[in-house]
């Protein structure tokens, strides 16, 4: 939330840019700015001219960090002033360097005849159903799934959004690769092809895909069937926030739809569930729902739509586009139990404080006064240091938890020994560093032949360095869409890598993704 961004000084501008960078890191690549709102939540509103200047500044900030911005909504504020004053909400999105796109996973639950396959078909194919299942799914397994070669009774569907928030799907007969290529955000629907006998086992299978959210599909004309309660229970058991889609509203009267909504609201409010239903009827509701849903898991948005007439389908798309890629609590708890690892993104000297580093804690917990080691230096060593104090959002903070961004003061530590891309870890981690590593990769796009001796920029987490291809196992060269295990060598200095870490590499139009398999 930012009140005014009119003509900031150069220093203030740099500060705002850094802040945007961290908000994007914590939000996993997304942040919503409310312009015309004070930090304490007071709706002040800006005049037309101030708003124009503020949006211009925001665009400049976004350009500087390589992000895109989309205006979500504008509202007028009622004030006793002659000039109309407005508030604008803006979505800022930047795909992290080591990712191809922001990745959001939604588990889909629903009875066999609830219309969920049709709904997924319409969303991902971009054509309405003819009421007899024309929009059935073209199954595509997400790239990670291809790589790990896992197959199951679970199918994957993808829906992309580009940086302007427009849907990218199969409608222009794109291939899955093209969808990945032109999307800045991908929603992967994980569909539990309704095998009721196996529900329990599948659910545990499902948790291993770490869904961020669940979508429960209920048919308006059958209302709450026996298994719907079970599905509600499963959504609760997955410990992820869920939202509900009431489908097939074209088949019934308004009264029937309302009855189903009332039934659901009653169940959701029961002590076992303790949820706050939020019925989405307009674009504005959809924006509010996405934001509140992300902040408090008790809210359950409810959509009523038809895959045949297309009624209200856009509201669901608006919602999915804005849904932030949260760290789900299970993942966060697991990360906090690991050893401390802080990724260094910024380094500066502050008078009377000494050397200060900014960045994100990717795992563990970091406390004031803690002793860590930082590295790797050019000759591959790690140096000891002490965290003197921690600041987060410009105020002191005693404990930093996994996933949070902050600045750490390191006192008299020599700043020239540090560089971006280093990590600070707890000494007992015995950090592994390497100059040569192997990765299983998929070549997404390539102009010339990819072979031994080829140089690419490799991104792994906050590590970014040029590496040269030393060997492609079992092949002389790779073509677009092919997969192989490749050995890379960093050309400058060793880096800290972990097995299993996701990597992305590029060089001109060449682009590929994969994961580290051997150090």
Calpha distance 110→199 (Å, rounded):
11
Does the pLDDT at position 130 exceed 60? no
Query: Which of 269-273, 336-340, 456-460, 507-511 shows the lowest mean pLDDT across its residues?
Result: 507-511
pLDDT value, residue 280: 96
The confidence score (pLDDT) of residue 296 equals: 82
Over 70: is that where the pLDDT of 133 sits? no
Contact 294, 286 (CB under 8 A): no
Query: What are the pLDDT digits (tens) for 252-309?
Result: 999 999 999 999 999 898 877 889 999 999 999 999 999 888 778 789 999 999 988 8
pLDDT (0 to 100) of residue 472: 94
Which pTM value belongs to this model?
A: 0.69
Q: Which residue has the higher pLDDT, 169 or 422?
A: 422
pLDDT number for residue 134:
36
Q: What is the mean pLDDT of residues 487-497?
A: 93
Average pLDDT over residues 362-369: 91
Dump pLDDT digits (tens) for 33-67: 988 887 666 778 888 898 999 999 999 999 999 89
- Mean pLDDT lowest for which of 206-210, 334-338, 465-469? 206-210
d(CA 194, CA 171): 26
Domains and CATH numbers, the chain: 10-94 (3.30.110), 102-326 (3.40.50.300), 330-425 (2.40.30.10), 433-518 (2.40.30.10)
Burial-class residue 368 by CB neighbours within 10 Å (0-12, 13-18, 19+): middle
- Residue range 145-149: mean pLDDT, rounded: 35
- Mean pLDDT along residues 173-187: 73
pLDDT of 382 above 70? yes
- Cβ atoms of 472 and 452 within 8 Å: the answer is yes
Residue 43's pLDDT is: 76
Query: Which is nearest to 258 in space by CA: 287, 292, 236, 281?
Result: 281
Confidence of residue 365 (pLDDT cuts 50, 70, 90): very high
* pLDDT higher than threshold 80 for residue 107: yes
Q: What pLDDT was estimated at residue 362?
A: 85
Between 190-199, 211-220, 256-265, 383-392, the lowest mean confidence (pLDDT) is in 190-199
Which tokens belong to 45?
């509103």
- How far apart CA 313 and CA 124 sit, in angstroms, is 12
Give the mean pLDDT of the chain. Answer: 81
Go through the chain and tell me how many residues it has. Answer: 519
Answer whether residue 489 shows pLDDT above 90: yes
Q: Which residues pair with 400 in a beta bridge?
A: 366
Torsion angle, CA of 125/126/130/135, rounded to 10 degrees?
10
Is residue 140 very low, low, confident or very high in pLDDT (cuts 50, 70, 90)?
very low
Angle at 389 between CA 385 and CA 390, to 5 degrees: 110
Confidence of residue 221 (pLDDT cuts 50, 70, 90): confident
Which has the minimum average pLDDT: 18-32, 185-199, 380-394, 406-420?
A: 185-199
Which CA distances in Å does 410 have to 368, 415, 461, 496?
10, 9, 23, 21
pLDDT for the residue numbered 505? 85
pLDDT in tens, 317-330: 999 998 887 665 66
């Amino acid at each position: 939330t930012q009140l005014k961004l009119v003509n900031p000084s150069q220093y203030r501008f740099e500060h705002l840019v850094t802040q945007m960078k961290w908000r994007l890191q914590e939000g996993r690549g997304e942040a919503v700015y409310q312009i015309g709102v004070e930090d304490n939540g007071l709706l002040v509103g800006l005049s037309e001219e101030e708003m124009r200047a503020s949006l211009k500044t925001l665009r400049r900030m976004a350009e500087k960090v390589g992000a895109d911005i989309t205006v979500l909504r504008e509202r007028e504020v009622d004030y006793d002033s002659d000039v109309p004053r407005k508030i604008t909400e803006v979505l800022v999105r930047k795909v992290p360097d080591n990712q191809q796109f922001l990745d959001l996973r939604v588990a889909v639950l629903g009875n066999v005849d609830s219309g969920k396959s049709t709904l997924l078909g319409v969303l991902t194919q971009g054509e309405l159903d003819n009421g007899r299942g024309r929009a059935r799914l073209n199954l595509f397994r997400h790239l990670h799934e291809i790589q790990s070669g896992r197959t199951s009774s679970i199918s994957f569907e993808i829906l992309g959004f580009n940086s302007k928030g427009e849907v990218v799907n199969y409608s222009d007969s794109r291939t899955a690769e093209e969808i990945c290529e032109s999307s800045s955000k991908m929603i992967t629907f994980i569909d539990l092809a309704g095998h009721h006998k196996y529900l329990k086992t599948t659910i545990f299978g499902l948790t291993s895909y770490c869904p961020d959210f669940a979508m429960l599909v209920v048919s308006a004309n059958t209302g709450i069937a026996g298994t719907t309660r079970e599905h509600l229970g499963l959504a609760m058991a997955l410990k992820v926030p869920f939202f509900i889609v009431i489908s097939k509203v074209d088949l019934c009267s308004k009264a029937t739809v309302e009855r189903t909504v009332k039934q659901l609201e009653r169940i959701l409010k029961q002590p076992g569930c303790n949820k706050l239903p939020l019925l989405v009827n307009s674009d504005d509701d959809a924006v509010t729902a996405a934001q509140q849903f992300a902040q408090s898991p008790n809210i359950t948005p409810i959509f009523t739509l038809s895959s045949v007439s297309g009624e209200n389908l856009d509201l669901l798309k608006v919602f999915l586009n804005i849904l932030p890629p949260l760290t789900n609590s299970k993942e966060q708890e697991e990360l906090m139990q690991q050893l401390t690892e802080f990724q260094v993104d910024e380094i500066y000297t502050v008078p009377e404080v000494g050397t200060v580093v900014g960045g994100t804690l990717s795992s563990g917990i970091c406390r004031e006064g803690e002793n860590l080691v930082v590295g790797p230096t050019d000759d591959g060593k790690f140096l000891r240091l002490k965290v003197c104090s921690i600041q987060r959002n410009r105020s002191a903070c005693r404990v930093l938890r996994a996933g949070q961004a902050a600045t750490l003061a390191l006192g008299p530590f020599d700043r020239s020994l540090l560089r971006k891309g280093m990590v600070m870890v707890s000494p007992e981690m015995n950090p592994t560093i390497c100059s040569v590593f192997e990765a299983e990769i998929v070549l997404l796009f390539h102009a010339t032949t990819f072979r031994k001796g080829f140089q690419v920029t490799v991104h792994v987490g906050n590590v970014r360095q040029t590496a040269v291809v030393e060997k492609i196992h079992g092949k002389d060269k790779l073509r677009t869409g092919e997969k192989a295990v490749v050995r890379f060598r960093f050309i400058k200095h060793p880096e800290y890598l972990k097995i299993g870490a996701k990597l992305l590499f590029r060089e001109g139009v060449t682009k590929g993704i994969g994961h580290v398999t051997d150090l």
